[in-house]
Amino acid sequence: MKPVKVLTLSALLGSALLLGACSDDADTGATGEGAGDAQLQGEISIDGSSTVYPIAEAVAEEFMLEQPDVKVTVGLSGTGGGFEKFIAGETQLTNASRPIKDEESKALADAGVEFTELELAYDGLSVVVNKDNDWVDQLTVDELKKLWLDNGSTKKWSDIREGWPEEEIKFYSPGTDSGTFDYFDEVILDGGQIDKSATLSEDDNVLVQGVTGDANAIGYFGYAYYLENKDNVKVVPIVNEAGDAVEPNAETIESGEYAPLSRPLFTYVSNAAIKDDEAVAAYTQFTLENASVLAEDVGYVSLPEEKYTEQLETLEGLK
């Protein structure tokens, strides 16, 4: 029994892994160096909403093709978790699927972080029911309230509108930590308690499956999830303030006709980072210039063109 072997053993495990990691590392180190003065360097860390993540991922992917020496990372701690890191100064940009809350902007002011709110795209919260549900043709905001607010007892479809079947309704909603829930809470629940029997899930695919599998189910989630599952669920037109029942689609969401469930998706950027860090300024500009195309690419709806132009002007003023 040679004692050396005991030691080498533990070293072996670690170093084998290290070696594997190092050799792969060599091939990225050399790219893009000295490629001209337009090349920027730096690190940008972004965190926040998982709803906005696909847009941020697309922007970062494209940006790094142009600026390979700027290391962009995007996390998905959720809107609230993202703000927490933004307040701590750990990120330069943070994504949000709802506007910043008062307490968050107060905490930012206390921390001395000045920020700018930028809109990237629209999402239409889509209310969906099962394919076999042939009774729900449209819903008003009042009916949505009646459906989703907890009234202490189980609800049947016949409680919502006369003539609908006497079957118990099953609810599927995004989890209370998500910006999607926050938005729904603001426009429909108005701070009230969501039906206690509702199945809450952070994964919207679970909601899709729930609604697909139960004839008496109703749920809501981001437009992109509806778009991917068009054949499995039925979307419910929502009656807007003008009294028209409108289905969510690219046109109605962009024009604002699909209301009140259209919501903007945001990114918040630190003003100081834009001023001091060329890479952050360039990245933010790149985001606004490309958000329209990239957002549609990943299943969201772009803002009207003039909105992006306006925001680019605001950005110029911050540099």
Partner 1 sequence: MENTTRVKSEEMIGRIDGRLMKNKVIKGIFLTATAFTSIILIVLLYRIISQGAPYLSWDFFQNFASRRPEQAGIKAAVIGTLWMMSVVIPTAAILGVGTAIYLEEYAKKNALTRWIQMNISNLAGVPSVVFGLLGLTIFVRVFGFGNSVLAAGFTMALLVLPVVIVASQEAIRAVPNELKEASFGLGATKWQTIYRVVLPYAIPGIATGSILAFSRAIGETAPLIVVGIPTFVAFLPSGYLDSFTALPMQIYNWTSRPQVDFHNLAAAGIIILLGVLILMNSVAVWIRNRYQAR
- The site for partner 1 (CB under 8 A) is made up of 1, 3, 6, 9-11, 13-14, 17-18, 20-21, 24-25, 28-29, 43, 45-47, 50, 53-54, 56-58, 60-61, 64, 71-77, 85, 88, 90, 202-205, 222, 224-225, 227-229, 294, 297-299
Place of tokens 């303030």: 241
Please state whether beta strands 199-201 and 93-96 pair in parallel, antiparallel, or not at all (unpaired).
unpaired
Q: In whole angstroms, what is the distance from residue 25 CA to residue 251 CA?
A: 46
Backbone angles phi, psi at 266, to 5 degrees: -120, 160
Place of tokens 């337009």: 38
> Read out DSSP for 26-43?
HHHHTTTTTS-TT---EE
Nearer to partner 1, 71 or 161 (CB): 71
In sequence order, what are the residues at sequence separation of 6 or more whose Cβ sits closer than 8 angstroms to the Cβ of residue 61? none
Nearer to partner 1, 76 or 238 (CB): 76
Q: In whole angstroms, what is the distance from residue 42 CA to residue 314 CA?
A: 23
Of 171, 228, 223, nearest to 200 (Cα)? 171
Nearer to partner 1, 47 or 195 (CB): 47
Residue 295 beta carbon to partner 1: minimum distance, rounded to whole angstroms = 10
Backbone conformation region of residue 256, classed left if phi is above 0, alpha if psi is from -120 to 50, else beta: left
Residue 69 beta carbon to partner 1: minimum distance, rounded to whole angstroms = 9
Residue 20 beta carbon to partner 1: minimum distance, rounded to whole angstroms = 6
Both tokens of residue 200? 């809450």
Nearer to partner 1, 104 or 204 (CB): 204
Nearer to partner 1, 18 or 245 (CB): 18
Residue 206 beta carbon to partner 1: minimum distance, rounded to whole angstroms = 9
Nearer to partner 1, 91 or 240 (CB): 91
Residue 194 beta carbon to partner 1: minimum distance, rounded to whole angstroms = 21
Residue 159 beta carbon to partner 1: minimum distance, rounded to whole angstroms = 32
